[in-house]
Chain A
């Protein structure tokens, strides 16, 4: 996927004046947060589960190579095949070849963010294979030619009215009187349309929430059941996942499922949790003839052993987005690449390079709410700072900001000089403000005074007053 992360500021400017987006985002600010809180209030051991989830993921990352090899062996043992892809291009090529071998004309897809990462839809379409999204949210944005704006709620940037309009444009046979305002009726309409496509699809592509090493099983969770149909009806099932999705055993998947659903949607469990182990065996009633797992690295293994390793614990629950004031203000597309919100702000620089995503780690007040809700306790603010350090070291930050910092550091590390400067500054500002006590505008402070007044200092600095009182 083409990135516009370096244009974050332009994206933000557009997002802030987009009335539909702003209306849609109101929903995110309350709905997800309240549901999560209710679910957690009902589970006293939730904090302990978060610790366990963090420890489990750390353990896996410390032996990722071993677990991956074990996973591959067990997939093969059940008659499936693992394909390793270092880059998005390799992953695309592998998938295309599998589809071509099967003479595939249509491919149904479950939700996969890694699919977005490698741009699989465009690649298939460019090669004459029609990809059909089966998750309702993904289906809607595919109709609109858009990308997901949220890891678990891809169409959350749209209002109901926009969705209805899109449906009416495409589902032309619809009775105009038919109510399409309720999510249920939309879902039914999409289901009706999709059923036929499921039957004719040659290949089904899904993501994976977990890859279970000791059985070669892949797991997905959905709330619509579309994943099941995507992976059981077509002749070929391709699972596409990042290498960090591995867990040792089904018991570990169980632990992560418990924190995942609660953190994501406030459910105890997602409506459908589906485990797939290999292709259909003789005597099985259903299942695909072929079972492929494409494992993507795309820079993930490079993070191991660095200060960024912890971000690989992410289980893509979306809680950090739901609690992020920046995400609430601008939505997901402003981030300019696949992953949005706090996890996007730390993942994007890792996967496409900090030089292509410098504004993302800067766009945070470091309020820490993301870390406080992350089910695997990823210290997101710390990682944001690490990226800022890297950007600073590589001189990717703006010249103006660098000069201001250098001036600040020069003064702040010389207390006597600092006293002089602040003493003069405080008095001058006080004089300028006069009795008003604040500024509506002030040269060099326009970024502040654009939206708020600047309170004036009281007059003499604390240090000056303290010294004369003593």
Chain B
């Protein structure tokens, strides 16, 4: 099974270890993984800022780059959701591309969703000692309806205890450009989120979206919290020897 990894721009720039963790997991699950060179970003900055033309260009670029794969997997609910639910909408008026957008949408998945729903795989071989909590990104939770999948996989990690985040549904306040356009509102949201994280007593917060993680880790560190933030793939793949997001080292 040939799987194309959509790395996502934030993982590429900020935290390559997540990309390698995703590759390790996919390979453990029996996939042949390739990373097409011609990928950059899924187009959300343009799409969510009203720049439809740029978003369409990016969408075509991604569609072309991932031609020929059986599946496309992204370590992000947000970018996965963009491809899966928004590309068909974005290119609906362009008959030739609309078909290709639909085809790509049908074979694209968020990482944990792919491992569980498509491969029905959970042979995790990793250890992570301690209490963690999990933040569902809005796009995973509401757009892709991903909730049980990461939890089912985390349940297979030795030594890990999951404490559910109280009031887990609200957005963490990232929202792409939203957080810099409306920093004060965004701040209220992330304040609430880190307070709920603290209430769990977990030493680590996990999520499947680098955007949320940058925001949450940034707030935790600003508040002097000891809680560490990591992408769920790092833990599932047993690649936690690098410092957590925003930590010294």
Q: Decide whether A and B are members of one complex.
A: yes
Q: How distant is the Cα of A27 from the Cα of B40 in the complex, in angstroms?
A: 43
Min CB gap A27→B, angstroms:
15
Interface check A447, CB cutoff 8 A: yes
Q: How distant is the Cα of A461 from the Cα of B19 in the complex, in angstroms?
A: 10
Are A409 and B54 closer than 8 Å at their CB atoms?
A: yes
A389-B52 contact, Cβ under 8 Å, with A455-B218, A455-B246: yes
**Which of chain B's residues have a CB closer than 8 A to the CB of A90?**
none
Which residues of B in the span 44-67 have a Cβ within 8 Å of any Cβ on A? Answer: 45-52, 54, 57-58, 61
Count contacts on A: residues with CB < 8 A to the other chain: 64
Are B180 and A326 closer than 8 Å at their CB atoms?
A: no
Of A73-81, A192-200, A412-420, the stretch lying at the interface with chain B is A412-420
Interface check A465, CB cutoff 8 A: yes
**Which of chain A's residues have a CB closer than 8 A to the CB of B163?**
none
Are B15 and A450 closer than 8 Å at their CB atoms?
A: no
Q: How distant is the Cα of A371 from the Cα of B171 in the complex, in angstroms?
A: 14
Are A455 and B245 closer than 8 Å at their CB atoms?
A: yes
Interface check A49, CB cutoff 8 A: no
A458-B17 contact, Cβ under 8 Å, with A372-B142, A466-B35: yes
Q: How distant is the Cα of A458 from the Cα of B246 in the complex, in angstroms?
A: 9
- Set A366, A369, A422, A453: member contacting B169, Cβ < 8 A: A369
Interface check B221, CB cutoff 8 A: yes
Min CB gap A38→B, angstroms:
15
Q: Is the interface of B mostly helix, strand, loop or mixed?
A: helix
Are B215 and A435 closer than 8 Å at their CB atoms?
A: no
Of A50-58, A102-110, A155-163, A357-365, the stretch lying at the interface with chain B is A357-365
Are A453 and B218 closer than 8 Å at their CB atoms?
A: yes
A325-B184 contact, Cβ under 8 Å, with A453-B246, A460-B16: no
| Nearest B residue to A372, CB-CB | B142
- Set A369, A388, A455: member contacting B50, Cβ < 8 A: A388
Interface check A211, CB cutoff 8 A: no
Work out how many contacts link A and B, with CB atoms closer than 8 A.
209
Which residues of B in the span 208-249 have a Cβ within 8 Å of any Cβ on A? Answer: 214-215, 217-219, 221-222, 242-243, 245-249
Are A388 and B49 closer than 8 Å at their CB atoms?
A: yes
Are B12 and A369 closer than 8 Å at their CB atoms?
A: no
A364-B40 contact, Cβ under 8 Å, with A451-B186, A452-B190: no
Q: How distant is the Cα of A413 from the Cα of B179 in the complex, in angstroms?
A: 24
Interface check A253, CB cutoff 8 A: no
- Set B14, B16, B37: member contacting A465, Cβ < 8 A: B16
Are B185 and A330 closer than 8 Å at their CB atoms?
A: yes
Are B40 and A392 closer than 8 Å at their CB atoms?
A: no
Are A455 and B14 closer than 8 Å at their CB atoms?
A: yes
Are B39 and A363 closer than 8 Å at their CB atoms?
A: no
| Nearest B residue to A389, CB-CB | B50
Interface check A69, CB cutoff 8 A: no
Are B49 and A409 closer than 8 Å at their CB atoms?
A: no
A363-B249 contact, Cβ under 8 Å, with A368-B143, A405-B45, A457-B13: no
Which residues of A in the span 429-461 have a Cβ within 8 Å of any Cβ on B? Answer: 435-438, 440, 445, 447-448, 450-458, 460-461
Interface check A225, CB cutoff 8 A: no
Min CB gap B146→A, angstroms:
13
Interface check B31, CB cutoff 8 A: no
Q: How distant is the Cα of A462 from the Cα of B7 in the complex, in angstroms?
A: 8
- Set B39, B47, B48, B189: member contacting A325, Cβ < 8 A: B189
Q: How distant is the Cα of A391 from the Cα of B154 in the complex, in angstroms?
A: 43
Interface check A39, CB cutoff 8 A: no
Min CB gap B30→A, angstroms:
20
Are B12 and A463 closer than 8 Å at their CB atoms?
A: yes
Are A452 and B215 closer than 8 Å at their CB atoms?
A: yes
- Set B12, B48, B175, B182: member contacting A462, Cβ < 8 A: B12
**Which of chain A's residues have a CB closer than 8 A to the CB of B139?**
368
**Which of chain B's residues have a CB closer than 8 A to the CB of A409?**
46, 51, 54, 57-58
Interface check B91, CB cutoff 8 A: no
Contact with A along B172-193 (1 / 0, CB 8 A): 0111111111111111111000
Are B47 and A408 closer than 8 Å at their CB atoms?
A: no
**Which of chain B's residues have a CB closer than 8 A to the CB of A462?**
7, 11-13, 16, 19-20
Interface check A390, CB cutoff 8 A: yes
Q: How distant is the Cα of A412 from the Cα of B9 in the complex, in angstroms?
A: 9
Contact with B along A381-397 (1 / 0, CB 8 A): 01001011111110001
Q: How distant is the Cα of A287 from the Cα of B41 in the complex, in angstroms?
A: 64
Interface check A16, CB cutoff 8 A: yes
Are A438 and B218 closer than 8 Å at their CB atoms?
A: yes
**Which of chain A's residues have a CB closer than 8 A to the CB of B245?**
455
Q: How distant is the Cα of A452 from the Cα of B212 in the complex, in angstroms?
A: 13
Are B142 and A422 closer than 8 Å at their CB atoms?
A: no
Interface check A329, CB cutoff 8 A: yes
Interface check A426, CB cutoff 8 A: yes
**Which of chain B's residues have a CB closer than 8 A to the CB of A13?**
184
Are A448 and B12 closer than 8 Å at their CB atoms?
A: no
**Which of chain B's residues have a CB closer than 8 A to the CB of A363?**
178, 181-182, 185
**Which of chain A's residues have a CB closer than 8 A to the CB of B1?**
none
Interface check A351, CB cutoff 8 A: no
Are B221 and A438 closer than 8 Å at their CB atoms?
A: yes
- Set B37, B39, B171: member contacting A367, Cβ < 8 A: B171
Interface check B38, CB cutoff 8 A: yes
Are B180 and A447 closer than 8 Å at their CB atoms?
A: yes
Interface check A186, CB cutoff 8 A: no
Are B14 and A367 closer than 8 Å at their CB atoms?
A: no
Interface check A425, CB cutoff 8 A: yes
Are A364 and B178 closer than 8 Å at their CB atoms?
A: yes
**Which of chain B's residues have a CB closer than 8 A to the CB of A425?**
13
Are A437 and B243 closer than 8 Å at their CB atoms?
A: yes
Are A405 and B49 closer than 8 Å at their CB atoms?
A: yes
- Set A390, A413, A460: member contacting B61, Cβ < 8 A: A413
Q: How distant is the Cα of A388 from the Cα of B52 in the complex, in angstroms?
A: 9
Contacts A366-B138, A405-B51 aside, 16 further interface pairs with beta carbons under 8 A come to: A325-B171, A363-B182, A365-B176, A369-B170, A372-B142, A397-B50, A412-B40, A422-B13, A435-B248, A438-B217, A451-B219, A452-B218, A453-B217, A455-B14, A455-B217, A455-B245
List, sorted by A's number, 10 A–B pairs whose CB atoms are closer than 8 Å: A326-B185, A362-B182, A365-B171, A365-B173, A366-B178, A388-B49, A392-B52, A412-B43, A425-B13, A453-B219
Q: Which residues of B contact A (CB under 8 A)?
A: 7, 9, 11-17, 19-20, 35, 37-41, 43, 45-52, 54, 57-58, 61, 89, 138-139, 142-143, 169-171, 173-190, 214-215, 217-219, 221-222, 242-243, 245-249
